[in-house]
Amino acid sequence: MAWTIDSYLTDCRQVVEGELERVLPTADESPAVLHEAMRYSVFAGGKRIRPALTFAAAECLGGSRQAALPAAAAIELLHTYTLIHDDLPCMDDDDFRRGRPSCHKAFGEANALLAGDALLTLAFETAAASSTAPAAIVRVLATAAGSRGVVGGQVADLAATAQQADEATMRFIHEHKTADLFRAAVEMGALTARANAESLAALSAFGRACGLAFQMVDDLLDADNPDDHSFSCVHIMGAERARAYATTLTTEAMDALRPFGDAAAPLRALAKRLLERTS
């Protein structure tokens, strides 16, 4: 069978879901409600894009999917915690996530807050179990996720939604809320394959550009939803410029992959798919 990005994504999803299944306690373990809430949000039908980036980055450098597995699971656990906390009433106050009640709607606000805290913690426990470069992987994940990364982006996003924002603010938000985690996904995969500094920098540039394009496309897709009033690049720069910029960023991402030749085919196909997706 010919290689396709769809079968690649399906394979990655199955592999990472096996690991998520393994590291997440079941409701047999007390407190049952906490473990149920964690699993409810982790197994909610996510596309597992960030783990696929981790695998593809590792494979691009000749690393194995097996070695990248803890890092891939960790990035997805961390991503899930951001969704749970984002949906809380004091944040975006979203009652639904992927067509189902959001975690706090299903389990109550305190349990959702704590399920998010536990998933963030489990992300680091899982990353630290990597057989290659565990401390470096934890540091990359923590730097991307912390106040200089995702959390900083969230704070800026909340402030921007409440007031008039400019293009510089938009760039700060996209860089940190989204691109930092894409970059970390790729860097963690590269570290599991013992990347040298040059390869790490090239893949990091790919991850960043890919993440910025992803957020542009996200905002463009959300712009068709009249109920969505969250901060969006479409309000700042208009749909046409946003679409053009997403394409430019994807080209930038592809350029960063030039040193890797055919080994980067899955990364290229992922970047292309993320640009062209319709959901």
Taking the complex as a whole, the smallest distance from the CB of residue 212 to its own copies amounts, in Å, to 18
Check residue 143 for interaction with its own copies (CB under 8 A): yes
Token pair listed for 245: 């910029």
Collapsing DSSP to helix, strand or coil, 100 comes out as strand
Residues in 99-128 that interact with its own copies by CB under 8 A = 108-111, 113-114, 116-118, 120-122, 124-125, 127-128
CA atoms within 13 A on the CB side of 204: 15
Size of the site for its own copies (CB under 8 A): 51
Do the beta carbons of residue 142 and residue 124 sit within 8 Å?
Answer: yes
Which CB sits closer to its own copies, 145 or 242? 145
Q: Cα separation of 69 and 71, whole Å?
A: 5
Decide whether 134 or 237 has the Cβ nearer to its own copies: 134
The answer to whether residue 148 forms part of the interface with its own copies (CB under 8 A) is: yes
* Furthest C-alpha separation in the chain: 52
Strands 96-97 and 100-101: antiparallel
Please answer whether residues 180 and 203 qualify as being in contact, where contact means their C-beta atoms are separated by less than 8 angstroms.
no
- For position 239 contacting its own copies by CB under 8 A, the verdict is no
Interacting residues with its own copies (CB under 8 A): 25, 29-31, 33-35, 38, 81, 85, 88-91, 108-111, 113-114, 116-118, 120-122, 124-125, 127-130, 134-135, 138-139, 141-143, 145-148, 151-152, 154-156, 158-159, 172
